[in-house]
Amino acid sequence: MEKLTNRLLSWASILDEKTVEQARTSSRMPFIYPHLALMPDAHLGKGATVGSVIPTLGAVMPAAVGVDIGCGMIAVRTQFTKAQLLGRDLTALREQIERAIPLSAGRDNRKIVATAEPRIAELEELAAKNEFDPSHYAGHWRHQLGSLGSGNHFIEVSVDETDAVWMFLHSGSRGVGNKIATHHIAVAQRLATQWWIPLPDRDLAYLVEGTDEFRRYIRELRWAQRFALLNREEMMDRVSRQLSEIMGAEVEERERINCHHNFTESEMHFGKRVWVSRKGAIQADAGRPGLIPGSMGTASYVVSGLGNPLSLNSSPHGAGREYSRSAARRTFTHDQLREAMTGIEFRDTDAFIDEIPQAYKPIDRVMADAADLVEVRHTLRQLVNVKGD
């Protein structure tokens, strides 16, 4: 860990100056307490740095949570072994998963399936309790539940160091969460203009605790966080069904972990109750299970938190980008992507060049930087990868 300023601590050994300056700017906001923590995967974001932990007194910056509210990971350890899995048709498994789960931006379910119905009912009840209608943001939100999205979202079937088979996926609150976040970022920016509040960056606009705008944001944010968690549960159930069909036996769940990495919670730190916004970071209380994915084609990790107080009990959420998407497309080739994915069943298309592992920080370096934040329980290597364009 390096103390960059009195209000900015960093665990990142790979950090460019633009990211440092963005984090410095965020850390100077008057309600930051006690300091902003940069995780090993930190990189430039919108307003606030991706891979940062931002504790605030009496205010929340919606852009510091991010537009994919509740984005995170879910993993399930099964009874199957690597030898059993390699005896099956992995191309067929990938294609079955791709048919069972809508992929890519703007893709939703054509109908609401039986497993989604109780989850949708729960979300309808929660929305009514929180006095808002998510259809105001996205009329088709019910059909979004159980869909993956695009970008760095993925579904994988992996094996750990004991040769146990895991199902592993990454997604969030889809279009409805994005629209909720975008609305409240705009509200915060409008209020800053209305009240002549100077901001070093418009995306650091904030909502003040105790106001109607703040209360509405927290209610809708919590709904979107729940949507994201249930979205992952719904997709995991579908992946489990496809794996069961390929293996010829029902999946026996030995362990299930589901964690956010774009969210805010009210927590006690350094003697005060603060809002902790983790934008690309997971909660890592002592003993708390967590998931840290690598990039496409590299290892991922099942971890336990170490409860490091200086990090606000947090850890990285993944590898963290070194190249922007456009820079990655200019730098790398389809052949390099194929080489990086050797031995992994994936949809071979140049649409994924911007997700090539070389566009990200080395995950082993990130994990070494996080040695005082988490303890590694399992190392996962993917055999099947599913992504949206």
What pLDDT sits at residue 104?
Answer: 83
The residue assigned the tokens 């307490």 is: 33
Active-site residue, from 35, 317, 334, 378: 317
Q: What is the pLDDT of residue 333?
A: 96
Contact assessment for residue 122 and residue 349, using Cβ atoms and an 8 Å cutoff: no
Going from N- to C-terminal start, the domains of the chain cover 2-387
Q: How far does CA 282 lie from the centroid of its chain? A: 8
The closest alpha carbon to 66, from 87, 52, 81, 83, belongs to 52
- The first and second tokens of residue 300, run together, are 């991922």
In whole angstroms, give the CA distance from residue 80 to residue 175.
34
Tell me, what's the pLDDT at 106? 81
pLDDT of residue 285: 98
For residues 75 and 200, give the distance between their C-alpha atoms in angstroms, rounded to a whole number. 39
φ/ψ of 146, rounded to 5, equals 95, 25
CA atoms within 13 A on the CB side of 332: 26
Residues 102-136 as b or e (16 or more Cβ within 10 Å = b): bbeeebbbeeeeeebeebbeebeebbeebebebee
- Which amino acid would we find at residue 104? S
Return the pLDDT at 143.
Answer: 96
- Residues of the chain short of pLDDT 70, as ranges, are none
What secondary structure does DSSP assign to 267-314, as a single string? EEETTEEEEEEEESEEE--TT-EEEE---TTS-EEEEEE---GGGTSE
Give the per-residue pLDDT at 194: 96
pTM above 0.75, yes or no: yes
Q: Which two tokens stand for residue 98?
A: 């791709």
Q: Does domain 2-387 have CATH number 3.90.1860.10?
A: yes
Q: Is 317 one of the catalytic residues? A: yes
